[in-house]
Amino acid sequence: MTFIIYNDKLDVVPLWINGEASPLNPKLFFEVVNAQENKTVHYAQGANEADAKAAVDAAAAAFQPWSQTSYSHRRALLLKVADLLEQRAEEIARMQVLETSCAPAFANFLPRLTAPVLREIASQISNCLAGTVCPTETNDTYAFVTKEAVGPVLIISPWNSPTILGTRGIASALAAGCTVVLKGSELCPATYRLIVSVFEDAGLPKGCLNLVQAGRSEAAAVTEAIIAHPELRKVEFIGSAGIGSSIGQVCMKYLKPILMELGGKAPAIITRNANLSKAAQLCAFGAFTHHGQICMSTERIIVVKAVADEFTRLLKEAVEKEFSGGVGSAVTKASSDKVHNLLEGARKNGAKFLVGDNSYTGPHKAGLQPTIVTDLSYDDPLRDTESFGPSATLYVVEDEVEALRLANDTKSGLVASIWTDDAMQGLDMSKGLQFGSVHINSTTINDGPTSAITGTKGSGWGSNSGSFGINEFLVHKTVTLRKSEAPIEFK
């Protein structure tokens, strides 16, 4: 059940708590708007603090039996989720396009990206749950360190890539033996409802995965009510640094640990040894895919002076060839306006547009032309503000040493890339980059099922994906066994 029909005319996405839809409360309905067409496509039931408590209560009641299931049972369930996700990929993609105005190709790609991630998580459960036998000072004592699920957790997942980001977090927590309250984005609640239905249709018991969403005016109170619940043990948040800072403060207030994957200002460094044509092509791809609405988007292109003229020519050609027809729509008109104003402010401060003119696209001005900015002043807000739109800034530097310095001159630290055909140069430079991921000869939009996705600096902390994500939801417990007659000595 994706929708409940209210008064025979409104399609409403319900809250989903303990395996069933909660009663509708029309006072908390909110609209879900397709920005590209500027129309309300359906409604969603917003949560209040009582709903938040009920969701955690359900997760807490389900935790004990779920945490005692075998690793093989959890593995089989996640493998089934992966299969169902592939089977329902088209339905989920259509809903994401409807709610977020993203390009159909991008929405259709996400399930194909997610299924292998789920299968990798499933394959790693037994390894992650393995404990350690520790050496002890005396022969009459044994010490073991075991791993246990941390408890019910809150997953707060964004709108831009729900199929991968929401599903990955849910799967990692369930693999560890945790139960979940999922706070889905208010911009795509039906997409998240479909994702939850995939897990339940795969056989996940009631209460193990509960879905709430909230309108903007209630979101802060609902989030705090979930975090404050005494049974809630940990939070995963993926989103902007600003919201992450606010949620982090709430977690600190209630002494709840939080895993955060926040925004970035990803640099791509073009060395004098780079394959310039391929670098230009993938820098454009990294900057403009999904209207630039990816935390790993290429926001800064840093090119060494010796190859700057040739690379700039190739970059302009790549943008004109691949993106002359536009790059789709922003998720909301307000998002489009925010990016547009950020770039116009840079132009007023003396920056120039190398490619594109930052003009609006679409009948309702919900999209923007892809634009590359040059001659940006150091104190301009665009220098270190994640635009989250189809833009990138081009910098020319004297050498690779200056390129590293400029790349690190940011509060963010999620992902970076280096373009060089000298493998040792690439590896050496990767050591100097203050980012959780560094990709050599590839786009910044890059992650694999087996590797860690880690934020550093202002891009968060902790790791997602594969075994790294499962371990975030496990705690170590030390158990010792001693002969009862053995003396205890303090010297």
Alpha-carbon distance of 389 to 371, in angstroms, equals 9
pLDDT above 80 for 489: no
Name the pTM for this structure. Answer: 0.94
- Tokens found for residue 457: 């600096």
Task: Write down the pLDDT at residue 448.
Answer: 86
Alpha-carbon distance of 346 to 349, in angstroms, equals 5
Q: Where are the domains of the chain?
A: 4-263+459-477, 266-440
- Tokens found for residue 485: 């007659």
Alpha-carbon distance of 62 to 445, in angstroms, equals 37
Q: What percent of the chain has pLDDT above 90?
A: 93
Task: Write down the pLDDT at residue 1.
Answer: 77
Torsion of the alpha carbons at 411, 414, 417 and 422, rounded to the nearest 10: 100
CB 418 within 8 A of CB 440: yes
Alpha-carbon distance of 193 to 210, in angstroms, equals 10
pLDDT range class, residue 491, cuts 50, 70, 90: low
Query: ∠452-456-457 over CA atoms, to 5°?
Result: 175
Which residues are designated catalytic?
261
The class of domain 266-440 in CATH terms is: alpha beta
What number is the average pLDDT over the span 418-431?
97
What number is the average pLDDT over the span 392-397?
98
For 3-50, the pLDDT digits (tens) are: 999 888 899 999 999 999 999 999 999 999 999 999 999 999 999 999
Task: Write down the pLDDT at residue 60.
Answer: 98
- Tokens found for residue 136: 């002890």
Q: Within its chain, how far is the Cα of 387 from the centroid?
A: 16
pLDDT above 80 for 325: no
Taking domain 4-263+459-477, whether its CATH number is 1.10.150.450 is answered by no
**Beta strands, E only, 125-187:** 132-134, 141-149, 153-156, 180-183
pLDDT range class, residue 226, cuts 50, 70, 90: very high
pLDDT above 90 for 487: no
Average pLDDT of the chain to the nearest whole number: 95
pLDDT above 80 for 370: yes
- State how beta strands 141-149 and 474-482 pair: antiparallel
Task: Write down the pLDDT at residue 137.
Answer: 85
CB 246 within 8 A of CB 220: yes
CB 190 within 8 A of CB 214: no
CB 67 within 8 A of CB 177: yes
pLDDT range class, residue 485, cuts 50, 70, 90: confident
pLDDT above 70 for 420: yes
H/E stretch holding 360 reads strand 360-361
H/E stretch holding 438 reads strand 437-440
How many CB atoms lie under 10 A from the CB of residue 68? 10
What number is the average pLDDT over the span 354-366?
94
What number is the average pLDDT over the span 348-357?
96
Task: Write down the pLDDT at residue 235.
Answer: 98
- State how beta strands 352-355 and 371-374 pair: antiparallel
Task: Write down the pLDDT at residue 123.
Answer: 97
If one compares 43 and 1, the residue with the highest pLDDT of the two is 43
If one compares 324 and 310, the residue with the highest pLDDT of the two is 310
Measured over the CA atoms of residue 215, residue 167, residue 447 and residue 287, the dihedral's sign is: negative
Phi, psi of 422 (to 5 degrees): -100, 100
pLDDT range class, residue 490, cuts 50, 70, 90: low
For 246-262, the pLDDT digits (tens) are: 999 999 999 999 999 99
What number is the average pLDDT over the span 209-235?
97
pLDDT above 90 for 381: yes
For 73-101, the pLDDT digits (tens) are: 999 999 999 999 999 999 999 999 999 99
Q: What percent of the chain has pLDDT above 70?
A: 100
- State how beta strands 367-368 and 352-355 pair: unpaired
